[in-house]
């Protein structure tokens, strides 16, 4: 391809420019458009599928739901997790606005797990605070957001430019404010300039920083398309970044670039253990301290480390597989199968990920205030790019919303765009075309990231970090010599320049903070102690007027929520300037300096990148296939139609097409566009002759259950679907009938006679939603164990639970059923007769029964419960001891319970120790 001239650039104009179409970017665009701004959304891929959210989400880690958690408790939790280095005003925005964001997402059609009564099913995963809200069907979150962007009223205000990659934010020469961006098309190579009233960076973390153990460039824990674009753009625009020395490091599956998913497994009973099967993590919140404990265990003779699942019953394993092998990673099941592993017989071996930079999962990012404003006027940052510690998905949405709302005040910049900044961006983009036979991007990037692993990954030392800085300086020249021939290769080359910028920031920041903090995230062997006196400070970096990277130690502001162990006093910042490197050139002193080598004279024939020079064609692009054999052209018609948000009448011919593939595609389009009367049309497809169409209709109804109006026509269609021979259809129909309150006791009770156990479980949940305790009790004799377990839990979940209906389940032959019934006594009440049953069950051979009995005794009288629970603290099973400790906490107003808890603070199991200490 030829290098386009700067004067031939395509110029775009908008009030608000959003860079990045992922989690925060889509929300920023929606909010800005709702406030009346003209929005331009640039995405280097395609918004429909881009960002870390594209594959879906299995749960929310930080949902502060009223009645289940308090904002101040959450703020304190995040402060402790980040060793005190937080701006609580930003964290508090997520804490106070997060629940409204959950409700807003739900109004879009995002589905969060709820109980039978429609309440959010928040889980307690950490030892304090219930913040985890599962999303078992959260694989379509991005599709839901894209549907909002494509609504007619949004399309009038939001222009989406896919395959356009910004490389620099443009700033005003007069006052330094953000006025636009320089970019290029990743398919055609065209140069693109944008003038804007405000710019929002939402490009995600720098996930492609360290090199995975596999050596595969794109096998990273984080989304590998996130190469630190926004970090580099913010830095070169003059914005301050902070906490860059606080790396992101995560546990992951050994030899697989996917999280081990303790957040998902924990509510089902999974947990981390060493090779002896012992829980070992004392740190409560997912943090650098937890990772330090994890790394120490892994390196000890107690390693390897596992996520323990093999003790779980079949129902739990099947549910976990449904989430982990679809929403989390579609290839995960194939990976385990290839090794002959099964969660029923094998626990998941865990390891440690490569390092990355991420505000949302650690603390490293662009400095922002509580409205997502950076230190550059009219430049905003949101999502994993912004330094709002442990912000996760809900925080990304919250700060996208804040950024969009604040930026909507501004209108498009009308002056001339700065020629020097455009020329510099143009050179950065097209330089690889000048030497197309130069080193290819994969080789240069591999070398760069190997240096990151060798010299920057913890444990850190000043010597290694200084070697890293020297290596990254040296690689600036090597990166300038990279070759490219296509627009796609230009994109990858630009990403390498971003990775290099982030690597230098990480190395220099780690040198500047002369202490250890955040556990494994910033472990300095040459400064092993935490120094709150000198370093209870944010470490900010910025690009100086001379182009050097300089640092400021900014004291943590006094807290809004007091936290024991930390007492920030505020005060003035301490300017550090450039960081000093440790001398590491030689292993000892030299007697005399070596003679300098003569420098080669510059080549006067070297071409300037600003000239539109043709590039030799060394490689030809592979031919594009003309089409997929056997695919119906009707599907292409349908996909084109769906972009225009058609009404139901336009989609109906495709819904009734003779080809089942077309009908399935039409159902998918119906679920994406959701025209009026979409619900009854989807319910009608539940009776389709083709199983794929029926499955697509069932999935769409489940996905849209929060946004479909529950009218009589939809109710009639769902009732009719209960007669369809397909059990998956009947399950979906019952679930939607329950969620939309379209069924009644008689209908749900009749479904208890269904031949399929899964359908009967949905019938049980539906009966709970209408408080039909009598009909529930009748199902206690169901032949399927999993149904009887559901009945036991359901009897404890009705609004007025009582213990008597549990009687047959307490005497059930299956230990899992007995355990569930005994645990249900904690909700129904555990009067004397039932307390005696529970005390006797503490001697049962099955640990699940003993654990359930201990849980049930939390509601019994202290006279009967406490002595029995105290003895149970010596049980051989850690889960039983944990249940006993949690039950004793309910009786801690008695001296005997407190004395028993005191004996458990030295238990070998980390969870038992931690919960006992709380008592």
Q: In this predicted model, what pLDDT tens digit does every residue of 47-87 receive, in sequence order?
A: 988 888 776 676 777 788 888 889 999 999 999 999 999 99
C-beta separation of 410 from 403 below 8 A: no
What pLDDT sits at residue 132?
Answer: 76
Arithmetic mean of pLDDT over the chain: 90
- pLDDT, tens only, 630-679: 567 889 888 888 888 889 999 999 999 999 999 999 999 998 888 989 99
- Furthest-apart CA atoms within the chain: distance in Å: 97
Q: How many other C-beta atoms lie within 10 A of the C-beta of residue 302? A: 15
Chain segment 867-906, per-residue pLDDT in tens:
999 999 999 999 999 999 999 999 999 999 999 999 999 9
| Residues 6+ positions from 260 with CB-CB distance below 8 Å | 251, 252, 253, 272, 307, 348, 350
Kindly tell me if the per-residue pLDDT of 608 is higher than 60: no
Q: Buried (b) or exposed (e) across 575-585, using 16+ Cβ within 10 A? A: ebeebebeeee
**Angle, helices 487-512/462-480, rounded to nearest 10 degrees:** 160
Render pLDDT for 828-868 as a digit per residue (tens, 0 to 9): 999 999 999 999 999 999 999 999 999 999 999 999 999 99
Backbone angles phi, psi at 224, to 5 degrees: -70, -15
Q: Kindly tell me if the per-residue pLDDT of 611 is higher than 80.
A: no
Q: What is the pLDDT of residues 749-763, one digit of tens each?
A: 999 999 999 999 999
Q: Which of 48-57, 110-119, 181-190, 401-410 has the lowest mean pLDDT?
A: 48-57
What's the pLDDT score for residue 908? 93
- According to the model, what pLDDT value does residue 855 have? 97
| pLDDT value, residue 615 | 38
Find the range with the poorest average confidence among 80-94, 414-428, 462-476, 698-712: 698-712
* pLDDT of 816 above 70: yes
What pLDDT is attached to residue 114? 82
Record the tokens describing residue 912, joined without a space: 């038992």
Q: pLDDT-derived band of residue 135, with 50, 70 and 90 as boundaries?
A: confident
Query: Strand locations in 105-255, DSSP E?
Result: 133-134, 158-162, 164-171, 178-185, 191-201, 241-242, 251-253
pLDDT tens, position by position, 227-247 = 999 999 999 999 999 999 999
- The more confidently predicted of residues 558 and 128 is 558
Per-residue pLDDT band for 266 (boundaries 50, 70, 90) equals confident
Say which range, 190-199, 481-490, 581-590, 779-788, has the weakest mean pLDDT: 581-590
pLDDT at 601: 52
| Higher pLDDT pick, 660 / 624 | 660
Among the ranges given (131-140, 355-364, 500-509, 604-613), the one the predictor scored with the smallest mean pLDDT? 604-613
In this prediction, residue 488 carries a pLDDT of: 97
Say how far apart CA 798 and CA 795 lie, in whole Å: 6
Burial class of residue 376 (count of CB atoms within 10 Å of its CB; 0-12, 13-18, 19+)? buried
Mean pLDDT of 200-220: 94
H helices, E strands: number in the chain = 35, 18
Whole-angstrom distance between the N-terminal and C-terminal Cα of the chain? Answer: 70
Percent of the chain with pLDDT over 90: 73
**H or E stretch at 17:** strand 10-19
What H or E segment, with its residue span, contains residue 379? strand 379-381
Give per-residue pLDDT as tens, 6-61.
999 999 999 999 999 999 999 999 999 999 999 999 999 999 888 887 766 767 77
Q: Which of 481, 616, 578, 494 is nearest to 227 (CA)?
A: 494
More confident residue, 595 or 41: 41
Dihedrals phi, psi of 419, to nearest 5 degrees: -65, -35
The reported pLDDT for the residue numbered 918 is 83
The predicted pLDDT at position 286 comes to 72
Task: Report pLDDT digits (tens) over 446-496.
Answer: 999 999 999 999 999 999 999 999 999 999 999 999 999 999 999 999 999
* Residue 213 clears pLDDT 60, i.e. is over it: yes
Task: Give the pLDDT confidence of 776-798 residue by residue, as tens digits.
Answer: 999 999 999 999 999 999 999 99
Q: Are 62 and 395 in contact (CB under 8 A)?
A: yes
What is the pLDDT at residue 590?
57
pLDDT at 736 over 50: yes
SS3 832: helix
């Amino acid at each position: 391809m030829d290098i386009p001239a700067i004067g031939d650039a395509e110029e775009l104009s908008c009030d608000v420019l959003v860079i990045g179409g992922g989690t925060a970017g889509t929300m920023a665009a929606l909010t800005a458009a709702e406030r009346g701004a003209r929005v331009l959304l640039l995405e280097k891929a395609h918004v429909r599928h881009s960002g870390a959210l594209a594959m879906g989400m299995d749960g929310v880690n930080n949902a502060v739901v009223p009645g289940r958690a308090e904002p101040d408790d959450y703020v304190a939790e995040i402060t402790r997790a980040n060793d005190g280095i937080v701006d609580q005003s930003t964290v508090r925005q997520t804490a106070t606005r997060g629940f409204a964001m959950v409700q807003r997402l739900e109004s879009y059609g995002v589905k969060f797990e709820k109980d039978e009564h429609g309440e959010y099913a928040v889980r307690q995963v950490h030892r304090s605070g219930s913040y985890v809200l599962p999303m078992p069907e959260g694989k379509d979150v991005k599709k839901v957001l894209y549907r909002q962007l494509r609504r007619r009223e949004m399309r009038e205000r939001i222009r989406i430019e896919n395959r356009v990659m910004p490389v620099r934010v443009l700033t005003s020469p007069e006052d330094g404010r953000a006025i636009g961006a320089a970019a290029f098309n990743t398919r055609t190579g065209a140069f693109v300039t944008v003038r804007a009233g405000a710019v929002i960076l939402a490009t995600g973390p720098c996930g492609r920083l360290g090199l995975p153990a596999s050596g595969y460039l794109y096998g990273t824990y984080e989304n590998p398309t996130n190469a630190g674009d926004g970090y580099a753009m913010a830095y070169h625009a003059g914005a301050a970044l902070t906490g860059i020395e606080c790396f992101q490091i995560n546990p992951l599956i050994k030899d697989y670039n996917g999280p081990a998913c303790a957040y998902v497994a924990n509510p089902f009973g999974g947990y981390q253990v060493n090779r002896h099967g012992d829980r070992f993590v004392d740190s409560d919140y997912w943090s650098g301290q937890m990772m330090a404990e994890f790394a120490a265990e892994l390196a000890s003779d107690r390693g390897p480390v596992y996520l323990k699942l093999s003790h779980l019953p079949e129902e739990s394993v099947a549910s976990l597989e449904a989430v982990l092998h679809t929403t989390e990673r579609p290839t995960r099941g194939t990976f385990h199968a290839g090794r002959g592993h099964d969660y029923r017989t094998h626990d998941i071996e865990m390891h440690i990920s490569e390092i990355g930079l991420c505000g949302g999962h650690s603390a490293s990012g662009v400095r922002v205030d509580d409205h997502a404003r950076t230190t550059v006027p009219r430049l905003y940052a949101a999502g994993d790019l912004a330094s709002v510690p442990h912000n996760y998905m809900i925080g990304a949405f919250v700060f996208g919303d804040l950024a969009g709302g604040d930026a909507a005040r501004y209108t498009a910049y009308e002056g001339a765009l700065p020629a020097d900044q455009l020329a510099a961006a143009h050179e950065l983009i097209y330089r690889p075309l000048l030497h197309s036979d130069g080193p290819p991007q994969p080789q240069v990037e591999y070398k760069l990231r190997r240096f990151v692993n060798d010299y920057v990954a913890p444990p850190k030392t000043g010597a290694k970090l200084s070697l890293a800085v020297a290596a990254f300086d040296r690689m600036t020249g090597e990166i300038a010599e990279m070759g490219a021939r296509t627009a796609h290769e230009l994109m990858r080359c630009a990403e390498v320049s971003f990775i290099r910028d982030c690597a230098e920031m990480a190395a220099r920041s780690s040198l500047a903070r002369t202490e250890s903090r955040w556990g494994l995230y910033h472990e300095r062997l040459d400064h092993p102690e935490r120094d709150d006196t000198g370093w209870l400070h944010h470490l900010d970096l910025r690009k100086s007027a001379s182009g050097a990277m300089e640092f400021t130690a900014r004291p943590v502001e006094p807290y809004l929520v007091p936290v024991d162990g930390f007492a920030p006093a505020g005060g003035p910042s301490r300017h550090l300037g450039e960081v000093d490197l440790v001398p590491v050139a030689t292993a000892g002193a030299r007697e005399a300096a070596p003679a300098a080598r003569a420098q080669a004279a510059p080549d006067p024939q070297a071409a300037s990148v600003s000239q539109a020079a043709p590039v030799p064609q060394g490689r030809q692009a592979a031919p594009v296939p003309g089409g997929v054999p056997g695919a119906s052209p009707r599907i292409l018609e349908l996909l084109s139609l769906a972009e225009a948000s058609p009404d139901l009448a336009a989609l109906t011919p495709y819904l009734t097409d003779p080809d089942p593939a077309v009908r399935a595609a039409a159902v998918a389009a119906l679920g994406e566009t959701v025209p009026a009367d979409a619900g009854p049309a989807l319910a009608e497809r539940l009776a389709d002759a083709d199983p794929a169409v029926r499955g697509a209709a069932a999935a769409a109804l489940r996905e849209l259950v929060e946004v479909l109006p529950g009218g009589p026509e939809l109710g009639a269609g769902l009732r009719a679907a209960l007669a369809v021979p397909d059990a998956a259809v009947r399950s979906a129909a019952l679930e939607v009938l329950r969620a939309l309150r379209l069924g009644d006791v008689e209908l749900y009770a009749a479904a208890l006679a269904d031949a399929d156990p899964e359908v009967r479980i949905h019938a049980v949940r539906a009966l709970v939603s209408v408080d039909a305790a009598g009909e529930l009790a009748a199902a206690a004799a169901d032949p399927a164990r999993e149904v009887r377990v559901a009945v036991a839990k359901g009897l404890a979940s009705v609004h007025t639970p009582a213990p008597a209906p549990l009687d047959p389940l307490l005497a059930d032959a299956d230990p899992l059923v007995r355990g569930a019934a005994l645990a249900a006594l904690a909700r129904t009440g555990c009067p004397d007769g039932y307390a005696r049953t529970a005390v006797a069950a503490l001697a049962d051979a099955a640990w699940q029964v003993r654990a359930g009995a201990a849980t049930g005794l939390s509601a019994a009288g202290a006279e009967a419960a406490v002595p029995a629970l105290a003895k149970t603290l010596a049980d051989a099973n850690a889960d039983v001891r944990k249940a006993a400790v949690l039950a004793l906490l309910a009786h801690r107003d008695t001296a005997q319970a407190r004395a028993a808890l005191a004996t458990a603070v030295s238990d070998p199991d980390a969870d038992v120790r931690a919960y006992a200490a709380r008592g």
